Amino acid sequence: MVEVECPSCNQEVDLGFIQLGERESETYECPYCDQEFDWTDQDEFKRINSSQTSRANRKSNAFLNSLEPGHSEGNFEFPLLVGNFKAKWNLSLDDILLLPFFLPFVILGVVIGSLFEEFKRIKYKREFAENVLNPEYLRGTGLVVFPDLSAELIVKKRVPEYVFEKDDITKIVLHEEEYHYKARKKSDYELHVYLHGFHALTIYGFDEGDSKNIVSKLMSLYDIDFQYTSHYNALDTSGGGGGG
């Protein structure tokens, strides 16, 4: 259901369900003032983007308000772990029960994915040698922060170690991928670390509880901006899905 404001009387008008891409524009009649107005795909895209921005801002503020009172640098013992040494598997009971049925496809996907990742790794390694920081390559499960507030990314063997200085980090973005199926909800999280204004590192493999701990520590240690983003995935048995 899509509700928009009538341009003539400013009342909320229910436009029903809108399928983007099926038509460029459609004319509606306001039930309050009887005036007609057009609603285009472009109008709908603007409404969706505005709605997502407002939702992200609300969740960002709610997330920051849910954090424990900030610590000062002197309250921490160094070297300080931010995140995890190993990634956590975010598997529900349903995932575990269904795993035997999908195991052959999982194995095939791992084999194909490994070959594809190897090609990408060669490209990323060449970029890194040229001082290009690619957040798809520089992925780790956490940070080790040292007394001078420099920090090292915790990575797997085939990913290069990377250390940044205190003044390098400018912003962190907590991204949540939400998966909804009927009454069940599951979320995966990533933290995007910005160095000098661009997304350079990615931290993965943590849950909601970890996310609050990670953000709380980094916001206490560094003078940085924080942003929350999310992507909504509605899953159904017919194979359809949605994002927002």
Q: Answer yes or no: are the C-beta atoms of 204 and 210 closer than 8 Å.
A: no
Which residue bears the tokens 């194995």? Answer: 107
Q: Answer yes or no: are the C-beta atoms of 17 and 9 closer than 8 Å.
A: no
How far is Cα 19 from Cα 39, in angstroms, rounded to an integer? 12
pLDDT digits 0-9 by tens, 215-239: 999 999 999 999 988 877 765 544 4
Name the amino acid, one letter, at 218.
Answer: L
Percent of the chain surpassing pLDDT 70:
75
Q: For residue 200, what pLDDT band results from cuts at 50, 70 and 90?
A: very high
CATH of domain 67-94+133-234: 2.30.29
**H/E element, 111:** helix 93-129
Which residue bears the tokens 């921490």? Answer: 76
| Domain coordinates in residue numbering, the chain | 2-58, 67-94+133-234
Closest residue by Cα to residue 155 from 170, 167, 138, 171: 138
Which of the residue ranges 35-39, 50-54, 138-142 would you say has the lowest mean pLDDT? 50-54
Name the amino acid, one letter, at 111.
Answer: V
Q: Which residue has the higher pLDDT, 14 or 109?
A: 14
Q: For residue 204, what pLDDT band results from cuts at 50, 70 and 90?
A: very high
Which residue bears the tokens 């359809």? Answer: 240
